[in-house]
């Protein structure tokens, strides 16, 4: 049995064509099903539906042989025990620093001000500001980062941006690029050795499907 860990939403939608290329069709739609383990058309392949941030953990410990995770999530996780053979070029977005419209981020930085930054991405943020020589106090949040500058919790946020629509709706603006993000295939290192006959064809199918697509 080969187990693939996926998260619902954007990543799942963009993974369906890749699965199809590997001859894998989920038996149910995870958006409407409450099941956490989904069968597929293939008796030897099942899907487990987990939180996006938990995908690397399931694969690291071998509870799933393969998984698809955002590079944002992989940077925070650290990638321990994971083989990362493929950038699938799906769920593309950017990790950005954003502030309230009118807040002069660059002036504050130039003055050497100590900034409060709210983010889910503390590891990536810490590395970014250290590299830039910006003094920050990081505040860990688990969601709705956009709210933090609006209610005085933080001067800035580090969050994912694709269209910028959420920032705009909340009178925020992106001021600095941190990292380009897309989703990657992650593979448990032991699974790659012990289940190679089952795992390698899936990696190969994903590779050619994502290469054909982009």
Q: Which residues are near ligand ADP by CB under 6 A?
A: 7, 9-11, 51-52, 70, 72-73, 91-93, 160, 162, 181, 183
Q: Are 87 and 184 in contact (CB under 8 A)?
A: yes
Q: Which is nearer to ligand ADP, 94 or 126 (CB)?
A: 94
Distance CA 28, CA 191 (A): 25
Q: Which is nearer to ligand ADP, 138 or 167 (CB)?
A: 167
Distance CA 213, CA 66 (A): 21
Q: State phi, psi for 153 to the nearest 5 degrees.
A: -75, -35
Alpha-carbon Rg for the chain in angstroms = 19
Q: How many C-alpha atoms does 52 have within 13 Å on its Cβ side?
A: 20
Residue nearest to ligand ADP (CB): 70
């Amino acid at each position: 049995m080969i187990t693939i860990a996926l998260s619902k939403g954007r990543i799942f939608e963009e993974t369906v064509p890749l699965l199809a290329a590997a001859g894998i069709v989920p038996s149910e739609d995870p958006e409407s099903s409450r099941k956490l383990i989904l069968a597929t058309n293939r008796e030897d392949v099942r899907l487990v539906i987990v939180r996006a941030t938990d995908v690397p953990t399931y694969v690291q410990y071998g509870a799933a042989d393969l998984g698809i995770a955002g590079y944002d999530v992989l940077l925070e996780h650290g990638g321990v025990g994971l083989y990362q053979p493929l950038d699938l070029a799906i769920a593309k977005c950017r990790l950005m620093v954003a502030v309230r419209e009118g807040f002069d981020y660059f002036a504050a930085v130039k003055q050497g001000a100590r900034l409060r930054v709210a983010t889910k991405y503390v590891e990536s943020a810490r590395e970014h500001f250290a590299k830039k020589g910006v003094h920050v106090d990081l505040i860990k949040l688990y969601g709705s980062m956009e709210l933090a500058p609006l209610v005085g919790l933080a001067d800035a946020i580090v969050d994912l941006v694709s269209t910028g629509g959420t920032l705009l709706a909340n009178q925020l603006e992106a001021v600095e690029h941190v990292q380009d993000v897309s989703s990657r295939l992650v593979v448990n290192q032991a699974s790659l050795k012990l289940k190679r006959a089952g795992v390698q064809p899936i990696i190969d199918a994903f590779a050619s499907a994502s290469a054909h697509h982009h």
